[in-house]
Amino acid sequence: MRPTLLFAAVVSFLSVTLAAHAGRLDLAVIQYTDARDLDAIAQALQGVDLMKITDSDRVESNLPALHAGWVVFNQSLAVAAGSNFANSTRLGNQRADVSGTVSGSNVSVEITILEGVKVGLRKYRQSNYAGSGSVAGGVPRIIAIRQSKGKTQTAIKGRATIQEYNYTTLIVARYVP
Domain locations in the chain?
22-176
**Single-letter code of the amino acid located at 91:** L
Say how far residue 157 (Cα) sits from the centre of its chain.
39
**Single-letter code of the amino acid located at 172:** V
Could you give the angle at the alpha carbon of 40 between the alpha carbons of 69 and 35, nearest 5°? 50
CA-to-CA distance for 120 and 122, rounded, in angstroms? 6
Write out the chain's pLDDT in tens, 177 residues: 455 555 554 444 444 444 446 789 999 999 999 888 889 999 999 989 999 998 888 999 888 999 889 999 999 999 988 889 999 988 777 889 999 999 988 999 999 998 876 666 667 788 999 999 999 888 999 999 998 888 888 888 888 888 888 889 999 999 988
Determine the longest span between alpha carbons in the chain, in angstroms.
77
Contact (CB, 8 A) for 130 and 110: yes
pTM for this predicted structure: 0.78
